[in-house]
Amino acid sequence: MLAEIITIGDEILIGQIVDTNSAWIAQQLNAIGIRVKQISSVSDDAAHIVNALNEAKTRADIILMTGGLGPTKDDITKTTLAAYFGVGFVQDKDALENVSRIFARFNRPLLEVNIKQADVPENCEVILNKNGTAPGMWFDHEGKVYVSMPGVPHEMMYMMEETVIPKLKNTFILPSIVHKTILTVGEGESFLAEKIADIESALPSHIKLAYLPKLGSVRLRLSAFGQNEAALQNEVDIYATQLVNRIGKNVVTDKDVPIEKAILDEMAAQGLTLSVAESCTGGYISHLYTQHPGSSKVFLGGAVSYAYELKESILGVTNETLWKYGAVSEQTVVEMVEGALRNFKSDYAIAVTGIAGPDGGTDDKPVGTVWIAVANSKKTFAHKFVFGKKRMQNIERTAITAMGMLINLMRENRPQA
Amino acid sequence: MLAEIITIGDEILIGQIVDTNSAWIAQQLNAIGIRVKQISSVSDDAAHIVNALNEAKTRADIILMTGGLGPTKDDITKTTLAAYFGVGFVQDKDALENVSRIFARFNRPLLEVNIKQADVPENCEVILNKNGTAPGMWFDHEGKVYVSMPGVPHEMMYMMEETVIPKLKNTFILPSIVHKTILTVGEGESFLAEKIADIESALPSHIKLAYLPKLGSVRLRLSAFGQNEAALQNEVDIYATQLVNRIGKNVVTDKDVPIEKAILDEMAAQGLTLSVAESCTGGYISHLYTQHPGSSKVFLGGAVSYAYELKESILGVTNETLWKYGAVSEQTVVEMVEGALRNFKSDYAIAVTGIAGPDGGTDDKPVGTVWIAVANSKKTFAHKFVFGKKRMQNIERTAITAMGMLINLMRENRPQA
């Protein structure tokens, strides 16, 4: 079963927002065995939307759209769909009740444009929008399913989870897709490929292997397509085990989780705690950990010590060290990480200090120079890196490299089986 | 002049990665007056790539592709393009030198698959990849330009900035597009629309207004299309001024920057400093500020105080307050914000504490309950919010709401003209 996603909105095409909806929708569809054939982003323009629908229906049976359902003039998805299906509008009682309820809750008068939000094409089934005023719409038309949802992520997500996914499961007999992902750090894509070449060559045609490199880590993803989910899972697990054994110490996890989640899980299982002292990453490492539910079991917190004074007062870095060696130095990062361990009373700590850029570099310490340290009560390990010139990349790269160093230190200390 | 972006990779279609390349490329193209007509994401499948190219060339003159250029078996973009243009391969000397240099730098033997990365379709012009082994490719074919770049963001970005954008400017006579964005907080989309209805109706046909709502803020974007950039800019500025005057105190800025950047700029202009004390946002607020170059002029740092102990030791929240009122309480958030002001010696501070979820809620304090405080030396202001059930949304919503509160406090204290 194939689906296509069409995201509608000029703001996507001028790059003002990143389309995060499509990836989320694709994940949900894959989980129930619906493959996404194509994702298209088109403008708030009727002819262009119609063209995208016409192309999509030649390839897919399910077409999910987001965007263009707001109350303002630039939102034309609803009128375009009514014209596309050749139908008129009716006012939907539940949708009107919903929009009235939302305005009442915020003590706002209901405007004409808001009442109009309850008008829907007469061939659609309304999807309740618990988090907003624009109703979603489900259309059955000439053997295909079309769904239109708002572009606001949490409104769309609620509709998908509560209505669209359950309804798709009831409407179609779905095949199975099983994915398994192995996260590796410390080796490049081509070396991994060389190392596992014979395993890859021996994969049956219904199992694909993809390499997904990202800033110092590479994910290997096995995907199996077929009818019997249990059998596919079993097959994929066998190949995954072969890959894990072959790749050895570079494997972080065989679950499809980001590196920080793998760390949280491993630490939680061992009852360990973590704190961080961040300078150049400015809270990004803490954010990566704390976006995950349950992170508070492991992650105690930390300091974002941009200013010299905060490195001293929160972390106990000495004034002498800062002035003698500079904020970006081995001495400072070691005092930071040991200060975090001591002051925040965690089992492990990470500290980073560097020049994220684009300004602040010197001949000795160009932009991209970063010191990273990881420590536990027995051992402190610090290393210098010189990354690139781009601030956000330096921040991300520092974070992932620090996590790789933390994993290595944890593995040295891992209880032996 | 119209362009289309095609991103190639199964990892996009199963939702394993969010396609951030497209938005970045679209921004770069818009800045030089090239409009993006459509963005399509397709699979690592030759027939599908060819189909996307055939569709794109009916709509656009410039087709930019990313992805599928790696050394492994799932990367088929290069062979697909050679077949599409009906040409063979040649080894490119510069590309081979580049890949050899990269492997030498890391002391790695050059494998057969890597040498093959220097083979390119014979009708292309090679684009140097300074940050990776896969060369980019520029094709002139039947009056259209096709560009193929790697999917790794920093490799693609370097190629765009160093080669593709300059070459597009030299190849085409480009029209102008001028955008201006007004960021507002505190009013919904339909109220803004009602308030500015007559200004919107009076816009000439070559100027469009779009509403971009996002978690408590709405951006209004004016876009003007034409030939004379200076005249367009002038026109757009006139309408923008009308909008700003009409909307009044809900306007944060008339620059196209996120809310935290508007705060940094306003504080920097007034010589003010900021610190934060984050519990439920776990570093996200700090990260939002510190992703911006130059943020260290304003942002001193802060604490990510997940654990009770860190709220006490770094921020000076009393043990009695925590146990009597709980970590998520007015008393605690006030002590946090005042502790941040005092300990971090900043002019302004933000503190947040709440239950991000999905666990940890109680009958009194359900998931989504958040206390936010902002303070300067004269005034502390705290407010309770009850957001939703989704962790990442609660984190983002808390951050943007805190920034809105900070702006209000700053405006109360703004030096009078």
Q: Report the domain count for chain A.
A: 3
| A163 shares a domain with A63 | yes
Inside any domain, residue B385: yes
Q: Where are the beta strands (DSSP E) in A251-291?
A: 251-253, 274-278
Q: How many CA atoms lie within 13 A of A359 on its CB side?
A: 6
Residue whose C-alpha is closest to residue A382's, from A408, A405, A400? A405
With beta carbons under 8 A apart, name residues in chain A contacting B10. Answer: 208, 210, 223
What backbone phi and psi angles, to 5 degrees, belong to A305?
-105, 75
Interatomic CA distance for residues B21 and A23, integer angstroms: 13
Q: Is A214–B17 a contact, with Cβ atoms under 8 angstroms apart?
A: yes
Q: What contacts B200, CB < 8 A, 6 or more positions away?
A: A73, B193, B209
**Chain B residues with CB-CB distance to A299 below 8 A:** 282, 306
pLDDT digits (tens, 9 = 90+) for A240-285: 999 999 998 889 999 989 999 999 999 999 999 999 999 999 999 9
Distance from CA of B114 to the nearest CA of A (A): 7
Give B391's contacts in chain A (Cβ within 8 Å): 291, 293
Domain end among A149, A171, A193: A171
Residue A160, domain member (yes or no): yes
Beta strands at B2-8 and B62-66: parallel, antiparallel or unpaired: parallel
Please give the Cα distance from A374 to A353 (Å, whole number): 12
Q: Where is pLDDT greater, at A122 or B174?
A: A122
Tell me, yes or no, whether A80 and A229 share the same domain.
no
Mean pLDDT (whole number) for B23-30: 94
Residues in chain A closer than 8 A to B12 (CB atoms):
22-23, 26, 39
Question: Is the pLDDT at A65 greater than 90, yes or no?
Answer: yes
Q: What distance in Å separates residue A276's CA from the closest CA in chain B?
A: 9
- State the Cα–Cα distance between residues B323 and B309, nearest whole angstrom: 12
Residue B107 lies in a domain: yes
Q: Do A339 and A317 form a contact (C-beta atoms < 8 A)?
A: yes
CATH of the domain at A226: 3.30.70.2860
Instruction: Clarify whether residues B94 and B108 are in a common domain.
Output: yes
Q: Do A304 and B283 touch (CB under 8 A)?
A: yes
B304–A301: do the CB atoms touch at under 8 Å? yes
Candidates B21, B18, B50; CA nearest to B36 is B21
Chain A hits for B221, CB-CB cut-off 8 Å, are 11, 16
Provide the mean pLDDT of chain A.
Answer: 93
* Res A330: pLDDT: 98
A305, A336 contact by CB (below 8 A): yes
Q: Looking at the complex, report in whole angstroms how far the Cα of residue A122 sits from the nearest Cα belonging to chain B.
A: 24
B219 contacts A16? CB cut-off 8 A: yes
Place of tokens 């630490």: A267
Distance from the A135 Cα atom to the nearest Cα atom in chain B, whole angstroms: 15
The CATH code of the domain that includes A345 is 3.90.950.20
Mean pLDDT across chain B: 93
**Which residues of chain B have a CB within 8 Å of the CB of A296?**
306-307
Residue of A nearest to B25 (CA): A15
Any residues with CB less than 8 A from the CB of B370 and at least 6 apart, and which?
B280, B328, B352, B353, B354, B355, B384, B385, B386, B387, B394, B398, B401
Pick from B24, B48, B133: which is nearest to A15 by CB? B24
Q: Verify that B151 and B225 share a domain, yes or no.
A: no
Look at residue A417 and tell me whether its pLDDT is greater than 50: no
Q: Quick one: which of B170, B22, B333, B64 has its CA closest to A42?
A: B22
**Inter-chain residue contact B15 with A26, CB threshold 8 Å:** yes
CA of B79, closest CA in chain A: separation in Å? 17
Work out the burial of residue B363: count CB atoms within 10 Å of its CB; fewer than 13 is exposed, 13-18 middle, 19 or more buried: exposed
Can you tell me whether residue B179 is helix, strand or coil?
strand
DSSP string, B253-283: ESSS--HHHHHHHHHHHHT--EEEEESTTTT
Tell me the backbone φ, ψ of residue B80, rounded to 5 degrees.
Answer: -65, -40
Flag if B310 and A299 touch (Cβ within 8 Å).
no
Question: Residue B146's pLDDT is what?
Answer: 98
Percent residues over pLDDT 70 in chain A: 99
Identify the CATH number of the domain in which residue A79 sits. Answer: 3.40.980.10
Give the residue numbers spanning the domain of B376. Answer: 259-412
Please give the residue of chain A at the shortest CA–CA distance from B102: A188
Structure tokens at A402: 């620090």
Q: How many CB atoms lie within 10 A of CB A45?
A: 18
pLDDT bracket for residue B371 (50, 70, 90): very high
CA A172 vs. chain centroid, Å, equals: 28
Percent of chain A with pLDDT over 90: 77
Of residues A71, A210, A393, nearest to B189 (C-beta)? A71
Question: For chain B, what percentages of helix, strand and coil (3-state, to nearest 5) are there?
Answer: 45, 25, 30
Report the residue of chain A nearest B215, measured CA to CA: A152
In angstroms, the separation between the Cα of residue B1 and the nearest Cα of chain A is 14
Boundary (domain end) residue, out of A194, A225, A253:
A253
Q: Are residues B237 and B265 in the same domain?
A: no
Shortest CA gap A208–chain B (Å): 8
**Could you give the strand order of the β-sheet that contains B125-127, starting from the edge strand earlier in sequence?**
A125-127, A136-141, A144-149, A62-66, A2-8, A35-42, B35-42, B2-8, B62-66, B144-149, B136-141, B125-127
pLDDT at residue number B327: 95
In this structure, are B228 and B280 located in the same domain? no
What distance in Å separates residue B357's CA from the closest CA in chain A?
7
Residue B417 belongs to some domain of the structure:
no
Interface contact A41-B22, CB threshold 8 A: yes
Contact A314 B303 (CB under 8 A): yes
Q: A71-93: per-residue pLDDT in tens? A: 887 789 999 999 999 999 999 99
Helix axes A77-85, A46-59, angle to 10 degrees: 60
Q: How many CB atoms lie within 10 A of CB B83?
A: 14
Q: What is the mean pLDDT of residues A384-388?
A: 92
Task: Convert the pLDDT of each residue in B39-89 to its tens digit.
Answer: 999 999 999 999 999 999 999 999 999 999 988 877 899 999 999 999 999
ipTM greater than cut 0.95: no
How far does B415 lie from chain A, in Å, by closest CA? 26
Question: Are B242 and B368 in the same domain?
Answer: no
Would you call B286 and A290 a contact, using CB atoms and an 8 Å cutoff? no
Nearest to B18 among A15, A23, A71 (CB): A23
pLDDT tens per residue across span A301-352: 999 999 999 999 999 999 999 999 999 999 999 999 999 999 999 999 999 9
pLDDT tens-digit readout, A113-143: 889 999 999 999 999 998 899 999 999 999 9
Residue B141, both tokens: 């074919």
Predicted structure pTM score = 0.80
Closest C-alpha to A307, from B346, B373, B306? B346
Q: What is the pLDDT of residue A411?
A: 84
B303 and A306 within 8 Å at the Cβ level: the answer is no
- How far is Cα A84 from Cα B109, in angstroms, rounded to an integer? 58
Contact (CB<8Å) A213/B70: yes
pLDDT at A217 over 90: no
Query: What was the pLDDT predicted at B417?
Result: 41
Q: How confident is the model at residue B415 (pLDDT cuts 50, 70, 90)?
A: low
Burial annotation B251-266 (CB, 10 A radius, 16+ → b, else e): bbbbeebbbbbbbbbb
Predicted local distance difference test score (pLDDT) of residue A415: 55
Contact A38 B13 (CB under 8 A): yes
In a domain, B158, yes or no: yes
Segment B250-294, tens digit of pLDDT: 899 999 899 999 999 999 999 999 999 999 999 999 999 999 999
* Residue A417 included in any domain: no
| Residue A276 and residue A167 in one domain | no
pLDDT at A187: 83
User: Which residue among B23, B30, B108 places its CB closest to the CB of A18?
Assistant: B23
pLDDT tens per residue, range B298-326: 999 999 999 999 999 999 999 999 999 99
Helix (H) and strand (E) counts for chain B?
17, 17
Which chain B positions have a beta carbon within 8 Å of A130's beta carbon? Answer: none
Distance CA A304, CA A406 (A): 19
Q: What is the mean pLDDT of residues B332-340?
A: 98
How close does chain A come to B230, measured CA to CA in Å?
20
Q: Please give the Cα distance from A365 to A383 (Å, whole number).
A: 14
What per-residue confidence (pLDDT) applies to B123?
A: 97
Q: Which of A5, A28, A39, A267 to mutate to test the interface with B (most CBs of B within 10 A)?
A: A39
Residues B56 and B180 in one domain: no
Of A171, A201, A218, the domain-final residue:
A171
Q: Are residues B199 and B222 in the same domain?
A: yes
**A108 vs B contacts (CB less than 8 Å):** 188, 191
Mean pLDDT of A230-246: 96
User: Rounded distance, CA A13 to CA A52, Å?
Assistant: 14
Is the same domain home to B245 and B312?
no
Residues A286 and A245 in one domain: no
Alpha helices in B203-258 (DSSP H): 229-247
Mean pLDDT across B22-31: 93
Among A26, A30, A293, which Cα is nearest to A180's?
Answer: A30
Question: Where residue A416 falls among pLDDT bands split at 50, 70, 90?
Answer: very low
Backbone φ and ψ of A123, nearest 5°:
-95, 5
- Does the beta-carbon distance from B286 to A286 stay under 8 Å? yes
Q: How does DSSP assign B79-122, residue by residue?
A: HHHHHHHT--EEE-HHHHHHHHHHHHHTT-PPPHHHHGGGEEET
CA angle A226, A232, A234 (to 5 degrees): 170
Percent of chain B surpassing pLDDT 70 = 99
DSSP 3-state assignment of A15?
Answer: coil
For residue A310, the distance in angstroms to the closest alpha carbon of chain B comes to: 7
**Strand extents, DSSP E, B251-368:** 251-253, 274-278, 299-305, 348-354
Cα B261 to chain centroid, rounded? 12
Q: Which chain B residues are closer than 8 Å to A189 by Cβ? A: 70-72
**What is the per-residue pLDDT across B176-198, written as a single tens digit (0 to 9) for each?**
888 899 999 878 888 899 999 99
- Test mutation, B1, B12, B14, B40, chain A, max A CBs within 10 A: B14
Indicate the residue of B20, B193, B293 with minimum beta-carbon distance to A359: B293
Which residue among B18, B211, B359 sits closest to A18, beta carbon to beta carbon? Answer: B18
